[in-house]
Amino acid sequence: MIWTPFLHAACLTLCAPPLQDAPGAEPQEPEAPKAEPAVTPAADLRLHAERVYTGTGEILKNALIEVRDGKISSLRPGRSAPEGVLQVKAITAGMIDLSARLHSNFNSVEQSTEVQPHLDVAGSVNLYDKRFARLARTGVTTILVNPLDRNVIGGRGVALKTHGPMEVEARRLKGRPILRGAIGSEPSAANHAAFGRPTDFYSRRPTTRMGVEWEWRKAFFDAVAATRLPEKDFPGAEDLREALAGKRTVMIQAWTTQDIRTAVYLDEEMQREGFGDLDLVIDAGAEAWKEPAMLVRNSTIVVLPPHTARGRVGSDGAFFAWNTASHLVEQGLTICLSAHGAGPGPATLGHQAGFAMRGGLSFDQALAAVTSAPAAVLGLSERLGVIAEGMDADLALWNGRPFAATSRVTGVVIDGAIVVDPR
Amino acid sequence: MRTQRSMHTKALLLASLAFVASTPASATSGEGDALAIRAEKLHVGDGTVIENGIVVFEAGVITEVGKAAPVPKGMVLIEHAGHLSAGLIALREHAGAVGESNDTTRAVMDEADLAFAYRPNHSEVQGLLEEGITTFVLAPRPGSLVGGLCAVAKTGSEVISRRAYLSICTGANGLTSNRFPTSLQGSQAELERRFSWPRGVFARAVKGELPVMLDGGSSRTEVQHAISFARRHGLKGILVGSTRLGEMAAKIRAAGLGVAISNYTPSTGRRVVEGALALSEMQVPFGFALGSPNGHPANLRLTAAACIRAGLKPSDALRSLTSTAAQLAGVADKVGSVQVGLAADLVLWSGEPTDPGSRVMAVYVDGDEVFRAEDDENGDDQ
Amino acid sequence: MHLPETTLASVLLVGATSGLFASPAFSSAATSPPTQGDLVAVRAHKLHVSPGKVLEDATLLIRAGVIVQVGNDLEVPEGARLIEGDVVCAGFMDPWGSLGMNAAATVDMATNAATSAIDGVDPYLHPWYRNRALAAGVTAVRVQAGMVSARGGVGAMLSTAPADDLEGMILLKDSNAAAGLGLSSRGNPPDVFARISAVDKLVGDINKGREYSITWAKYAHDLEAWNKTIAEAEAKLEKDFKKAKKDRDKEIAEAKEKDKEFKEEKYKEDKRPKLPKLDAEDAVMARVASGEMPLVVTIHRAAEMRELLKGTAKFKRLRLVIAGGTEAEAVADQLVARSIPVIVRPAPLGANRPDEYSGHNLALAGRLADAGVRVLLGSSGGGSSDLPLLATLAIGHGLDRDKALAALTTEVARTFDLSGELGSLRPGRRADLLVLDGEPLLPTTTVRYVLCAGRVLISPDSRD
């Protein structure tokens, strides 16, 4: 459980006499208990909404949310709004974008070799990038930052709140580790065959899809081989072995059906070889609708790219219809939606949910696809994705029914702090 | 410069108070003149100003300083109707080493020695003298992760320290698109590797024996990385290359680092100036960087003047240009103040040294007059 | 192509140009409304009336935005706002700036001699930069469309004071014509020989302007003569009107009878002088050739400067101003003889300087001034707010302090025909002035108050 600070606070206030002076008492944060009186302390923040969409299938009417220490401390429906309390039409959990792509472009991917499983993108994240604040304003409270997809295996991603301390390590969410890579044309886009004497490393990397696939397979085989031949060990081998052992999620960008197939076959090959079973997530899986059966078979989660008017997306021109989301959900797949960036433009993550609903997705399914489903991928379901007592106070405040074309996010709360005030 | 020798001597004869037979022209070149100079205002370098102060130097070294410093019999005393200060120090400069000061073929050039790139006779070095700069830190130009060992050079003279700093780019300035590293995390991983199991210069840096010159890059995030990198490995030294260092003054102070302020330009000017004020307020020691050939040597004093215009005390600015810079470069025992035992690197100014409107009238390095303003009123028959 | 000047032409030249093309030279006082009836008194320990002329413990009175009195023993009138300070001097003027101009207009390469800078002025642009310039003491900036073009068009002098509209900004809407020679003006050919021919082309353009004005002067003369003849004929006709009408009616009747066409009697006087072809560019160059407004030429290399001076020697009324002038020292004696001012950019440019500045030296301003050349200091569009700071660099490299002050005040006003309005603190001048806590052009000096047309725009409380 990650919400221990809240528990400490609650315990200490309830079980009253402060123990911190007693010898042998567990050292606690000394600030917490002192100031608070014996009665239930006033909340840091109180919000009232006509409707609270909890994300657990419930819609609470006229609900009062209380926030303490960055967590939701109480959630009570059927209340009238007390004096001075922030009132809005609707509240959902803060949205989560697994493919927000707020990396610092070419500085975010180490291209000197094509397989870099051990490098953490956190080192290149620029929290002063205005896109973080812009994204927060649209109700997206948590994102996954991955390296630019110029490598076969780009490295570890980092999950961050869109608002908070200005240092990456302080803001990093410790959930399930993510290993990011790509299959398709992008990892080979900058490379060329070596004519004569190679002058840089771009002349030795994969230049085709086949090469990209081969690099993936070789990386896993080498990592496994290194367990028996320690001299064959290489930086990142341990990360790959952890991925095979299912200890970290492997998120692969694959737009087209052939690339999605390659990713799934790679996973199945690892299983056949007895190397392990990848916990696979396909990012930007626009054409997942063409062969959903293999994804169902492999229980792969699909992150969909943003909808476009023409239906063509990505550098390979993958075909992505507006009913893709609903079609995949009907097949029993778990999907997440993403917006690929922070504008400019109207296609925020909230809009993506609305577009998917126009393609047939139900409200609850759409809400899950931008909140609880991505939270689960990040291994943060116990903190994020739904509105319940003890969860992080990450909230999107709406001026109408969420995802409706006439509604928009007017306020945002992250970790109990009002980031955008609707007043 | 030596051709001006005789003319100058004549000027001395006219102006001197205590003149006896032996003329300074007899002093051999290189050892420096034996001379005494009395200036209306003598800036010692620690903030004190001596009115009508006298500095006496012999064989290139200052032997007496004070209001009533004894002038040995037979020594010429020059009367200077103006100010006198120690020669200025530029904390990051590439003069005389253009095109030779960085090697981009490899990311890590830990043993590269910038002293070998120094050409004392280069015209750019003469340009520094004309602006009253007598000492500078010769640093590699950005482009490598570890650029090499910075040297401290006397303008037009020798290198006085070959291991002033180990130059490191922790930010995007150390990246190139066609050799390792191409990414910030790649660069950080490599530096971590070098400093976590340190050998050679890295070991000396970690032990605190060798200061580092950290080019953090321009963004705040990169600067943060540079500061935490220095803290993590207990590195001492200075931060350079960003206009945003002032915004991190508290963190820089906590890390015990110094700063070389970037040049004032119309586009970055406000940040540079506000940064200097913030650093001054937090008592972070700072000097001024230069960066020839793209920066004119006059930028050194112009940047200081811009800071003064915004509220920096002129005495603090002068310290940053002289004694503080010498301390940061680890050569305070040789240069940077007008003190007995230090090199006679002196500048005669027409007015306040920190006013860009003051002229450099004469410059002495190791007691040798190496520059004199062409139309100096003391000079005759030109 | 150059015609020998005829007496007639040169006599008529003045009349024609001022009559036909001239607009009021000073639009400032009339167009920029000062604060009505506001009475301000400024008292200082030192008052720089103009560079070199200092009054100790003096007071200056401003009424309706204009300086009305300056002196030692002036009473501060009842109801006047009193501002006290150590040192007072005129506001600085940047003769080579871009503040207030649309950026695209500043670097427009398609400008010609007739392009008007004020068409590219935007009163709502750069409020922050303008405030910074004001706070640094820069109260006026000369701007130019096509600063790097071969022909820059008609420049304007603008105030940096916040303005509600275009009119409120304009101090002089036609301060100069402009041209650029050499590489830094990108419209010119890079080849050395072709660059000399670009100089000849400019000389040719000035000549065309002069011919244009001669043509118009001749037209004006002919028109006058024709008008006179016509008037005489009319008078004669009027006198014999009845007879003439009777005769004419008879002739018409006769013609009708004979079924012939009636032919009106022709008069020589019907041949009205033909209106010469209008040409906006030539019209501007005509004003340049007649000396009505100066021609600012951005030029750096000595070879081109020599060619320009040689080619323009025959235009006795031409008022050249050189901007840049990196190698102007080589032609200093000619510049002195012809009283040609040079706008120097005293910026510290490193080795990577723009091509034409390869000989750039911070000592240029001082050396030119020592040679007797009139020196102005300009930012070259790089930021007027830094001009006072950069001016100190020129001082530190040999420019006399008073001359530096003049280079930012009186010389600018004089060069652009604003001496009666700006640049000094004499009665009748617009009250654009600075109240300082020390001597001007020192880094330790703070600008405490800035007044534009008597309005206090910067004060110690207005700073953040």
Cβ-nearest to B185 among A120, A127, A202: A120
Class of domain C93-210+279-422: alpha beta
Per CB-CB distance under 8 Å, the chain C contacts of B375 are: 370, 398
* Per-residue pLDDT tens over the stretch C380-394: 887 899 999 999 999
- In this prediction, residue C353 carries a pLDDT of 74
Nearest CA in chain A to B185: A123
Put simply, the answer to whether A123 touches B181 (Cβ < 8 Å) is no
Q: To the nearest whole percent, how much of chain A has pLDDT over 70?
A: 90
Q: Is the pLDDT of residue C267 over 70?
A: no
- In this prediction, residue A37 carries a pLDDT of 44
C397 touches chain B (CB under 8 A): yes
Cβ-nearest to A112 among B186, B219, B228: B186
Nearest CA in chain C to B300: C348
Distance of alpha carbon A181 from alpha carbon A150, whole angstroms: 9
Task: State which CATH number among 2.30.40.10, 3.40.50.1820, 3.10.110.10, 3.10.20.600 fits the domain covering A1-6+40-94+385-423.
Answer: 2.30.40.10
Distance of alpha carbon B122 from alpha carbon B119, whole angstroms: 6
Element of type H or E holding A44: none
Subunits adjacent to chain A (3 or more Cβ pairs under 8 Å): B
Nearest-CA neighbor of B255 among B195, B219, B211? B211
Distance of alpha carbon C342 from alpha carbon B186, whole angstroms: 53
Its CATH architecture, for the domain C32-91+425-464, is Roll (2.30)
Put simply, the answer to whether B269 touches C348 (Cβ < 8 Å) is no
Chains B and A touch (3+ CB pairs under 8 A): yes
Distance of alpha carbon C289 from alpha carbon C295, whole angstroms: 9
Put simply, the answer to whether B296 touches C383 (Cβ < 8 Å) is no
Task: State which CATH number among 3.30.365.10, 3.20.20.140, 3.40.50.1820, 3.30.930.10 fits the domain covering B88-328.
Answer: 3.20.20.140
Nearest CA in chain B to A155: B185
- In this prediction, residue A30 carries a pLDDT of 41
Cβ-nearest to B296 among C350, C386, C396: C350
Q: To the nearest whole percent, how much of chain C has pLDDT over 70?
A: 90
Contact between C463 and C448 (Cβ < 8 Å): no
Contact between C42 and C83 (Cβ < 8 Å): yes
* Per-residue pLDDT tens over the stretch B349-364: 999 999 999 999 999 9
CB count within 10 Å of CB A121 equals 28
| Alpha carbon distance, N-terminus to C-terminus of chain B | 14
Per domain, the residue ranges of chain A are 1-6+40-94+385-423, 95-384
Q: Is the pLDDT of residue A19 over 50?
A: no
**SS3 of A8, please?**
helix
Confidence of residue C148 (pLDDT cuts 50, 70, 90): confident
Q: Which residue has the tokens 């606690």?
A: A28
Domain B2-85+338-372 classified CATH 2.30.40.10? yes
**SS3 of B19, please?**
coil
Q: Is the pLDDT of residue C129 over 80?
A: yes
Distance of alpha carbon A315 from alpha carbon A255, whole angstroms: 9
Nearest-CA neighbor of A250 among A229, A275, A287, A225? A275
- In this prediction, residue B31 carries a pLDDT of 54
How far is CA C40 from its chain centroid? 29
Q: Is the pLDDT of residue A5 over 80?
A: no
Token pair, residue B92, equals 């990051």
Token pair, residue A74, equals 């109480």
- In this prediction, residue A180 carries a pLDDT of 97
Distance of alpha carbon B322 from alpha carbon B136, whole angstroms: 11
Coarse DSSP helix, strand, coil percentages of chain B, rounded to the nearest 5 percent: 30, 25, 45
The number of CA neighbours under 13 Å toward the Cβ of C375 is 31
Put simply, the answer to whether A155 touches B185 (Cβ < 8 Å) is yes
CA of B224, closest CA in chain A: separation in Å? 8
CATH number of the structural domain A95-384: 3.20.20.140
- In this prediction, residue A13 carries a pLDDT of 35
Element of type H or E holding B38: strand B35-43
- In this prediction, residue B292 carries a pLDDT of 63
- In this prediction, residue A21 carries a pLDDT of 37
Q: Which residue has the tokens 């994705």?
A: A385
Q: Which residue has the tokens 């100058």?
A: B8
Q: Which residue has the tokens 């407004």?
A: C293
Beta-sheet strand order (sheet of C155-159): C92-94, C138-143, C155-159, C170-180, C295-299, C320-324, C342-344, C375-377
CA of B376, closest CA in chain C: separation in Å? 10
- In this prediction, residue C3 carries a pLDDT of 39
**pLDDT, average across residues C193-206:** 90
Q: Which residue has the tokens 């800071």?
A: B307
Q: Is the pLDDT of residue C1 over 50?
A: no
Confidence of residue C187 (pLDDT cuts 50, 70, 90): low
Task: Say how many CB pairs under 8 Å bridge B and C.
Answer: 77
Contact between A282 and A252 (Cβ < 8 Å): yes
**pLDDT, average across residues A265-281:** 96
Per domain, the residue ranges of chain C are 7-15+212-270, 32-91+425-464, 93-210+279-422
- In this prediction, residue C123 carries a pLDDT of 86
* Per-residue pLDDT tens over the stretch A168-226: 999 999 999 999 999 999 998 888 877 777 677 888 778 899 999 999 999 999 999 99
Query: Which segments of chain B have a pLDDT < 70?
Result: 1-32, 98, 266-267, 292-293, 375-382
Distance of alpha carbon A402 from alpha carbon A406, whole angstroms: 9
Nearest CA in chain B to C464: B310
Nearest-CA neighbor of C134 among C317, C388, C333? C388
Put simply, the answer to whether A201 touches B188 (Cβ < 8 Å) is no
- In this prediction, residue C92 carries a pLDDT of 98
Distance of alpha carbon C98 from alpha carbon C147, whole angstroms: 9
* Per-residue pLDDT tens over the stretch B25-38: 333 444 557 899 99
CA of B273, closest CA in chain A: separation in Å? 21
**pLDDT, average across residues A94-121:** 94
Put simply, the answer to whether B221 touches A106 (Cβ < 8 Å) is no
Q: Is the pLDDT of residue A108 over 90?
A: yes
Element of type H or E holding A11: helix A4-14
* Per-residue pLDDT tens over the stretch C83-104: 999 999 999 999 999 998 988 8
- In this prediction, residue B380 carries a pLDDT of 40
**Backbone CA torsion sign across C11, C16, C17, C19:** positive
**pLDDT, average across residues C342-356:** 85
* Per-residue pLDDT tens over the stretch A222-248: 999 999 999 999 999 999 999 999 999
Put simply, the answer to whether A110 touches B183 (Cβ < 8 Å) is yes
Residues of A with CB under 8 A from a CB of B: 104, 106-112, 116, 118-128, 147, 155, 166-167, 199-202
Distance of alpha carbon C443 from alpha carbon B351, whole angstroms: 12
* Per-residue pLDDT tens over the stretch A347-379: 899 999 999 999 999 999 999 999 999 999 999
Nearest CA in chain C to B312: C444
The number of CA neighbours under 13 Å toward the Cβ of B42 is 24
* Per-residue pLDDT tens over the stretch C434-445: 999 999 999 999
Q: Is the pLDDT of residue A111 over 50?
A: yes
| Alpha carbon distance, N-terminus to C-terminus of chain A | 34
**pLDDT, average across residues C343-359:** 84
**pLDDT, average across residues C408-428:** 96
Four-CA torsion C117, C119, C120, C124, nearest 10 degrees? 120
Confidence of residue A283 (pLDDT cuts 50, 70, 90): very high
Per domain, the residue ranges of chain B are 2-85+338-372, 88-328
CA of B324, closest CA in chain C: separation in Å? 21
Q: Is the pLDDT of residue C428 over 90?
A: yes
Put simply, the answer to whether B189 touches A121 (Cβ < 8 Å) is no
Alpha-helical runs (H) found in A158-245: 168-171, 209-228, 237-244
